[in-house]
Structure 1
Amino acid sequence: MSARTAPESATAPTATTAPVVTGIGVVAPNGLGTEAWWQAVRRGENGIGPITRFDASGYPARLAGEVTGFDDEANVPSRLLPQTDRMTRLALFAAAEALADARIDAASLPDYAAGVVTASSAGGFEFGQRELQALWSKGSSHVSVYQSFAWFYAVNSGQISIRHQFRGPSGVVVSGDAGGLDAVAQARRHVRKGTRLMVSGGVDSALCPWGWTAQLAGGDLSADDRPDAAYRPFAARPGGQVAGEGGALLVLEDARAARARGARVYGAVTGCAAAFDPAGGADALRRAAGNALADAGIGPEQVGAVFADAAALPGADRAEATALRQLFGPHGVPVTAPKTMTGRLAAGSGALDLAGALLALRDQLVPPTVHTTAAPEHTLDLVVGAPRPAALRHVLVLARGRGGFHSACVVSSAG
């Protein structure tokens, strides 16, 4: 795990010197591929539905955000199929899309010029379940040798590195739903230290009986069977969370190098910060968000929109709303939670919100939140119904992980 810190330096990066994002790859329950997902988000299209990957009829929670239409054989080399969990197959797809989007020819890069840092919250749960079943029912000789790494938290970073022959810095961050932001913060450090290119973000999947049982044990999943009502963050009576799978991977590059090669730039990662508080109160999130703004060299009045963590748990919603009110004032900034269309994707959630924030900068709009409205007590300007046109220069993304992880990132227009 990477160290969790306050602002990285006293000298704030600018949008012209901070590492920039030149490629985005997305796998999400309401869209496979970046543009398919983004258009679905703009339309308010729901990807939450009854679980189909296994028989969930006997479980108290039966909805999830499943990635549909993913053809394993078409998207993953055949030699990798026996050794990869679904999580890793989705991550390989997202990495390939992000690199293609950035127009990176991996084979032409110098040795050690590129690296990978990803986040994971569960590892390859489905692969692990299958091999444990083989162990219990057939014996140890029937357990795949690939079990030695296919379950591991760092396997996405390793497989992406091998697939694209990246020999630069590599790592994994394990901090729950905050992980996607923390991984990008770590990748940003590597770029600022001289690495030319980093692939970073998070992709998760644990939609199998073993993984589902683990998530149920947390006590946060909604028992509501209505796909359009089960996950209602900031509502007067939020009913809990809906879990999902997927996420996003980003290509981060040195700003000067990206411009020198004529790369298309989505935006710059200008601010990152994190705080830890097992109690999960408003102070830690406010501190993380405030430090990220300070790291970006901007004030709250310059933030055009916030992508919220949106826990859909009464205490957590109240804490996030309080933190936002303390930073921006009542109704002080447009707030959105597109994850209401996908469910919470564990380590993939924050990374997918970062992708959304960058596309919001590109299109100059704030995407909508669906299936909920904000309770008056929260004093939030929650964007609902349809995208809201906005003049965006800086967007703040928030994420929280179970156990006390609080993270924030600022992405800024790079023009």
Structure 2
Amino acid sequence: MTLVTGFGVIAPNGTGAERFWEAAVEGRGAIAPLTRFDVSGSAAQLAGEVADFDAAEHLPSRLLPQTDVSTRMALVAAEWAIDDAKVDTSAADDYQMAVVTGNACGGFEFTHREFEKLWSRGPEHVSVYESFAWFYAVNTGQISIRYGMRGPSSALVAEQAGGLDAIGHACRTVRGGTSLVVTGGVDSAFDPWGWAAHVSSGEVSTATDPLRAYLPFDVRAAGYVPGEGGAMLVVESAESARARGILKAYGEIAGYASTFDPPPGSERPSGLLRAADLALAAAGLRPGDIDVVLADAAGVPQRDGDEAAAIVALFGENGVPVTSTKPLTGRLLSGAGPLDIVTALLSMRDAVIPPIANITEPSGEHQIDLVLGTARSAPVGAALVLARGRWGFNSAVVVRAIPD
């Protein structure tokens, strides 16, 4: 059994798990015009930007010049998760602690700033920290160094699905004998180059009304809104938790699976349904045991249709409540899946399912039970979290409550 004993959240609509959760239950979002640089010439101008986070308030000053904004968020979210789990890293066996993170972009803003120095001022002006600050594994490395976690660590890259992949791999690491793993994902790509990369996908919403920009499963769905942030979790074996005196965990990561879609143009269906099936099988659960689905919710009509079809095939028409917080935060890349797992765990704790905000005209083509308007009070004993990354990545995680 792999337990979640702590988590830390940095999301556009709330830094800190409780602030995020309050906003999610109320349906309060943070989609707004991007302020980090001038996007007036861009077709897309809205984003889920973390506006109330100052890394200097949380991190040693020596770390600031060597880290990208995404790494700073990951370090702080990891600190909050470790504190929440009551882990004394100085007293633990360093080789029994590990770090596994998902990352889609690396240190985007940092490296592009250094590129600009290289081209405009010369190589002598490029930061020595560029040698690692850009790298996909930098969040894993910086967390590992800060807390002396020398166990088997890694980084996974699978775009939006990567955060769930990291958590799945962290659970394998625990089953392999490592007592405790800090895991999750945080991403940010809000600089001119990063923004161009988002927009080049052709799937970013060009709407100007924040309440109408990101509308998954709605008849007006016309793309997603990019976001930044994510969540870090502490997962550990039940034996590890007991040895530390932890008597109550948030829940269990009960099952995980990943699949790949067939090549573009293939007549074969998406691999999302198979990923969900395999995750349920790994958890030893049936579809009827699932109380809520945290959807990938791409906001792109064809992808929404594929996901809705997979949910219906697994649960039947309107067979399970379906929700997502992404219309509130934007699409967080590797940060999305871990944040959805936190959402599922808090739904279990408080017996409430947050709404999928701003959806007023759900498509009749999707026979799924969307949680619309306001939060829905309901006991949640198990949840299925879905994530799909560009280029065919599919991942699914089953989260289960721990019986009292």
Both structures adopt the same fold (TM-score exceeding 0.5): yes
Aligned pairs for 1:191-270 (under 5 A) are 191-263=174-246, 264-270=248-254
State the superposition RMSD in angstroms. Answer: 1.0
Question: Partners of 2:8 and 2:321 in 1: how far apart?
Answer: 26
Deviations 1:219-267 (A, max 9, x none): 1100001111100000113110100000000000101221343323000
Between 328-337 and 69-78, the greater mean CA deviation after superposition: 69-78
- Higher deviation after alignment, 358-367 or 167-176: 358-367
1:307 is aligned, of 288, 294, 308, to 294
Match of 1:9 in 2: none
- The residue aligned with 2:375 is 387
Note if contact 2:262-2:269 (Cα within 8 Å) is conserved in structure 1. Answer: no
Aligned partner of 1:145 in structure 2 is 128
Is 1:276 paired with 2:260?
A: yes
Structure 2: tracts of 5 or more residues without a match = none
Are 1:126 and 1:206, in contact at CA under 8 Å, matched by a contact in 2?
Answer: yes
- Where in structure 2 are the equivalents of 1:1-400 lying within 5 Å? 18-263=1-246, 264-279=248-263, 282-373=269-360, 374-400=362-388
- Cα offset, 1:279, TM superposition: 4.6
CA distance in 2, matches of 1:259, 1:331: 40
Amino acid paired to 1:203: V
Measured in 1, the distance between the counterparts of 2:287 and 2:59 equals 43
Deviation digits for residues 189-223 of structure 1 (CA, Å, limit 9, x no counterpart): 01011101000010000011010011111111000
Q: 8 Å contact 1:122–1:206 — kept in the other structure? A: yes
3-state secondary structure, aligned to 1:45:
coil
Please state whether the residue corresponding to 1:67 is helix, strand or coil. coil
Task: Verify the 8 A CA contact 1:278 1:405 in the aligned structure 2.
Answer: no
TM-score by length of 2: 0.97
Determine if contact 1:181/1:399 at 8 Å carries over to the other structure: yes
Give the 3-state SS of the residue equivalent to 2:271 in structure 1: helix
How far off its partner does 1:111 sit?
2.6
Partner of 1:12: none
CA distance in 1, matches of 2:284, 2:150: 33
In the aligned structure 1, how far is the partner of 2:149 from the partner of 2:50? 27
Structure 1 83/255 Cα, relative in aligned 2: closer, same or farther at 3 Å?
same
- Structure-2 separation of matches of 1:157 and 1:228: 35
For residue 229 of structure 1, give the secondary structure of its aligned residue in structure 2: coil
Summarize the Cα distance change of 1:279–1:375 in structure 2 as closer, same or farther, 3 Å threshold. farther
Residue type of the alignment partner of 2:338: A
Post-superposition offset of 1:283 = 3.9
**Can you list the C-alpha shifts for 1:47-93, whole angstroms capped at 9, x where unaligned?**
11000000111100000000111112111110011100000000011
Classify the secondary structure of the residue corresponding to 2:311.
helix
Following superposition, the deviation at residue 385 of structure 1 comes to: 1.6
Partner Cα distance (1:328, 1:44) in 2? 26
Tell me the distance in 1 between the aligned counterparts of 2:199 and 2:245: 48
Q: Is the 8 A contact 2:322 2:370 kept in 1?
A: yes
Poorly superposed stretches of 4+, deviation over 6 Å: none
Contact 1:117 1:187 (8 Å CA) reproduced:
yes
Q: CA deviation at 1:278?
A: 4.6
For structure 1, the residue ranges without an aligned partner over 5 or more in a row are 1-17
Deviations 1:99-147 (A, max 9, x none): 0000011111013010000000010000011000000100011001100
Instruction: Report the alpha carbon displacement of residue 282 of structure 1 after superposing the two structures with TM.
Output: 4.7
The size of the alignment, in residue pairs, is 398
- Output the amino acid matched with 1:405: F
Q: Alpha carbons of 1:282 and 1:390: their partners in 2 closer, same or farther (altered >3 Å)?
A: farther
Aligned-residue sequence identity (percent) comes to 53
Deviation at 1:361, TM superposition (A): 1.1
**Aligned counterparts of 1:178 and 1:70: Cα–Cα separation in 2:** 25
CA contact (8 A) 1:116 1:171 kept: yes
TM-score normalised by length of structure 1: 0.94
2:214 match: secondary structure:
coil
